[in-house]
């Protein structure tokens, strides 16, 4: 559902957050003039394997001179884990909690219920920072809650504490429009624009805008982008060989097109504006738009009040689509021509360029907000002592398999709890950093960023946050070059989000593997996969075994029907996974519903593996299948395994179910009944007051949920804080 938040609900939830979770204990000190601003930059699907500044990147790393300059002037945390996918990784940063507490275990999709989205009652980073008078904004990809199955709809960023938002609540770019705006049949232009004449397109034509204005474009030099891309980058639709006049009736300005046409949401002072695809603001290259919006907001902040700006870049998430050549130093437009955006080889090249364009725009962000300058040769000059701003840069999870750089493992990439899936780059720079240019080899987790934000603001996070926090301190690493490791273990996990009546994402077959990570058919296809769920394709080129259009629910079912039809079995990406490590060893546990041919059944199977790992550059010890220590475990290794297994199980059991406590305040009481009543009356659909009945959530807030609250009234349920 994509609706605006009712005014009364906005007041109710905002007041609740301020009084019940944002106010905390009141033990913080009054903010001082020296409270630093915080610039938090999130890269999407850019794992540590991509980062030359961390010692990796393989033979063809993306060029990232601006982030390299900040890394050299700050700290490189070389042993940081996120979660395997974007929503759980981002929730970890903004809540300081592992997915077992938030129920956000994979990327949030349109069918995921509110119980697998960030709760409006929880303490988020922007709510926490309000205790120190911070103003918070986010630009770009949200993907923490809503708009579907959420009472707040597109207003979720406001309800969760952000004062200003400019971006996309659902987060993911739409699929590439292979009709290029309606000028050709489906599947004609894989990159969403008409290529040059040499590549089967045109070098001149008419560029129409949504308001019917028109400009004729002619590509006059190879250094220019193809005319079709020039037009798309301007927000228009290119009619090859056309001249301006009455626009063709086939032009479609209401269809998304990857990174260039996206339905934008702007929230300011609680007002939600849903910007349509026909608006010029919604027809701009995402990375440039995200940067422009952040620059404007930062430059208009009043003096004397600290701020936190989160620039949540969409790049380099799929669909992979060429950025304008102007954003990639040394690249001319000819390089953007003749590529097939559906092909793996071209995709790897385009993904590099999207990352490089992100770096270019990041550099512009610093320069145009006064955080850095340019030398005569154009290189970034960044002096962390010149401004009172701390810069935090992180990747939200590991790299997508098709783009992984050697020696990292493509088969153990994003979506898995192996190193390639969870090992993220983290850079922190600012005036608080002593001896900049250091590498920090100690373990850090994405949840620790929540504590870092509080530490920078002078807030005692454990005392201020009235719920369990899994965060460990990070500020000591900035101020003390000799700081020993704070964490003694690190942890990551993945699984399925909750959907109505036990549902899950449909199966997506990518090469010889099957996964249920893609949130929809279009996302599956954007990742070069074939959808076997409801609505699967039939006809030429399809390998799906027709079952009357119903589709298949699990990858195990796909393997079963493939076996019965004489087809090869697919490897199945773990449906439930957890990993834990100490300074030297890592335990990985994967569970999957496997098809067992001998009994013609589908059964859960769990596998555990133990590895020795490290951060050596450029060839780290990774948790690859050939290095599993358990099959020939020595007594010493067996003891390591038992210890890590016990620690993993302790963490997984640390969030006992508390039925009826929808606002998660630690007790089931009359306030839960009051909130249930309001939501059931005003909304009635999925909410955090939808509880499991007969083992499932039904996606409704109804009398069955009221009965759960009544049955548990007076029950206390506050799990302990993590001890990292």
DSSP per residue, 513-576: EEES-SSSHHHHHHTT-EE-STT---STT-----STT---SSHHHHHHHHHHTTPPPPEE--SE
Tens-digit pLDDT profile for residues 518-533: 999 999 999 889 999 9
Q: Which residue has the tokens 């709510």?
A: 127
CB atoms within 10 A of CB 272: 21
DSSP letters spanning 272-337: EEEE-TTSGGGSS-HHHHHHHHHHHHHHTPPTTS-EEEEEE--TTPSSP-PPPGGGSTT--GGGGS
Cβ-based neighbours of 519, under 8 Å, separated by 6 or more: 107, 108, 109, 110, 111, 112, 172, 505
3-state secondary structure of 614: coil
Tens-digit pLDDT profile for residues 404-441: 999 999 999 999 999 999 999 999 999 999 999 999 99
CA atoms lying within 13 Å on the CB side of residue 398: 29
Tens-digit pLDDT profile for residues 41-92: 999 999 999 999 999 999 999 999 999 999 999 999 999 999 999 999 999 9
What's the pLDDT band for 723 if we cut at 50, 70, 90? low
**pLDDT at residue 10, rounded to an integer:** 36
Domain boundaries, the chain: 7-174+261-483, 176-255, 500-572
- Residue 522, by phi and psi: left (phi above 0), alpha (psi -120 to 50) or beta? alpha
Q: Is the pLDDT of residue 20 over 70?
A: no
3-state secondary structure of 371: coil
Convert 188-243 into a string of H (helix), E (strand) and C (coil).
CCCCCCCCCHHHCCCCEEEEECCCCCEEEEECCCCCCCCHHHHHHHCCCEEEECCC
Cβ-based neighbours of 235, under 8 Å, separated by 6 or more: 209, 210, 280, 283, 284
| Cα(318)–Cα(258) distance, integer angstroms | 8
Q: Is the pLDDT of residue 7 over 60?
A: no
**pLDDT at residue 721, rounded to an integer:** 67
CB atoms within 10 A of CB 480: 11
DSSP letters spanning 376-389: TTS-EE--GGGSSE
Q: Round the CA-based radius of gyration of the chain to a whole number and report it.
A: 25
Q: Which residue has the tokens 């996206």?
A: 262
Share of the chain above pLDDT 90, in %: 89
Which superfamily does CATH assign the domain made up of 7-174+261-483 to? Alkaline Phosphatase, subunit A (3.40.720.10)
- What are the two backbone dihedrals, phi and then psi, of residue 580, each rounded to the nearest 5 degrees? -140, 145
Hey, what are 320's tokens? 């992979």
Mean pLDDT estimate for the chain: 93
Helix (H) or strand (E) holding 79: strand 75-81
Long-range contacts of 646-649 (CB under 8 A, 24+ apart): 647/489, 647/580, 648/491, 648/578, 648/580, 648/587, 648/589
Tens-digit pLDDT profile for residues 162-213: 999 999 999 899 999 999 999 999 999 999 999 999 999 999 999 999 999 9
- Calculate mean pLDDT across residues 637-642: 98
State the burial class of residue 211 (Cβ atoms within 10 Å of its Cβ: 0-12, 13-18, 19+).
exposed
**pLDDT at residue 25, rounded to an integer:** 35
**pLDDT at residue 332, rounded to an integer:** 85
């Amino acid at each position: 559902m994509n609706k605006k938040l009712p005014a009364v609900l906005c007041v109710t939830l905002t007041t609740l957050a301020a009084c019940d979770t944002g106010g905390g204990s009141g033990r913080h000190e009054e903010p001082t003039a020296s409270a630093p601003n915080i610039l938090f930059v999130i890269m999407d699907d850019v794992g540590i394997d991509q980062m030359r500044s961390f010692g990796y990147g393989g033979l063809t790393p993306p060029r990232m001179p601006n982030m390299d300059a900040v890394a050299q002037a700050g700290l490189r945390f070389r042993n940081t884990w996120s979660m395997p996918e974007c929503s759980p990784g981002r929730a970890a940063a903004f809540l300081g909690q592992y997915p077992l507490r938030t129920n956000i275990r994979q990327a949030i999709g349109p069918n995921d219920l509110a119980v697998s989205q960030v709760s409006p009652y929880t303490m988020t980073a922007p709510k926490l920072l309000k205790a120190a008078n911070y103003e918070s904004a986010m630009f770009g990809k949200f993907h923490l809650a809503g708009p579907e199955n959420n009472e707040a709809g597109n207003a979720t960023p406001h309800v969760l504490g952000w004062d200003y938002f400019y971006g996309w609540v659902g987060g993911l770019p739409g699929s590439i429009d292979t009709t290029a705006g309606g000028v050709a049949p489906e599947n004609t232009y894989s990159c969403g624009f008409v290529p040059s004449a040499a590549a089967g397109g045109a070098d001149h034509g008419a560029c129409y805008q949504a308001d019917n204005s028109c400009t004729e474009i002619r590509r006059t030099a190879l250094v220019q982008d193809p005319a079709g891309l020039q037009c798309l980058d301007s927000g228009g639709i290119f009619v090859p060989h056309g001249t301006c006049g009455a626009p063709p009736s086939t032009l479609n300005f209401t269809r998304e097109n990857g990174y260039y046409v996206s339905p934008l949401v702007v929230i300011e002072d609680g007002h939600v504006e849903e910007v349509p695809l026909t608006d010029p603001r919604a027809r701009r290259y995402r990375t440039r738009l995200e940067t422009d919006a952040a620059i404007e907001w930062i430059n208009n902040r009043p003096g004397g009040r600290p701020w936190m700006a989160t620039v949540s870049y969409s790049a380099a998430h799929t669909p992979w689509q060429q950025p304008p050549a102007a954003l990639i130093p040394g690249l001319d437009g000819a390089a953007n021509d003749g590529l097939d955006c559906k092909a793996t080889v071209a995709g790897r090249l385009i993904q590099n360029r999207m990352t490089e364009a992100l770096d270019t725009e990041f550099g512009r962000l610093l320069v145009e907000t006064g955080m850095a300058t340019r030398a005569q040769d154009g290189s970034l000059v960044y002096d962390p002592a010149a401004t009172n701003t701390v810069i935090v840069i992180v990747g939200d999870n590991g790299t997508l398999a098709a783009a992984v750089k050697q020696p990292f493992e493509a088969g153990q990439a994003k979506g898995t709890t192996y190193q390639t899936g969870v090992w993220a780059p983290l850079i922190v720079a600012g005036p608080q950093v002593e001896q900049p240019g250091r590498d920090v080899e100690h373990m850090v987790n994405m949840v620790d960023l929540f504590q870092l934000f509080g530490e920078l603001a002078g807030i005692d996070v454990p005392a201020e946050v009235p719920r369990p926090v899994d965060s460990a301190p990070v500020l000591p690493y900035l101020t003390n070059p000799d700081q020993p490791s704070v964490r003694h273990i690190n942890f990551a996990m993945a699984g399925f989000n909750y959907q109505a009546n036990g549902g899950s994402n449909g199966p997506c077959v990518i090469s010889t593997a099957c996964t249920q990570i893609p949130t929809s058919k279009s996302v599956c296809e954007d990742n070069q996969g074939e959808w076997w769920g409801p609505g699967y394709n039939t006809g030429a080129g399809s390998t799906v075994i027709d079952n009357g259009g119903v589709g298949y629910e699990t990858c195990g079912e796909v393997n079963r029907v493939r076996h019965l039809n004489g087809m090869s079995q697919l490897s199945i990406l773990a449906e439930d996974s957890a990993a834990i490590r100490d300074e030297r060893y890592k335990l990985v546990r994967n569970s999957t519903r496997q098809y067992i041919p001998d009994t013609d059944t589908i059964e859960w199977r769990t596998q555990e593996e133990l590895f020795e790992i490290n951060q050596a550059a450029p060839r780290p010890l990774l948790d690859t299948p050939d290095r599993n220590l358990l099959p020939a475990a020595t007594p010493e290794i067996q003891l390591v395994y038992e210890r890590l297994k016990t620690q993993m199980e302790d963490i997984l059991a640390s969030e006992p179910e508390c039925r009826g406590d929808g606002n998660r305040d630690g007790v089931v009481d009359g306030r839960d009944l009051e909130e249930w009543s309001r939501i059931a009356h005003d909304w009635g659909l999925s909410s955090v007051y939808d509880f499991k009945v007969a083992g499932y959530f039904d996606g409704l807030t109804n009398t069955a949920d009221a009965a759960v609250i009544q049955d548990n009234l007076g029950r206390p349920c506050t799990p302990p804080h993590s001890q990292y």
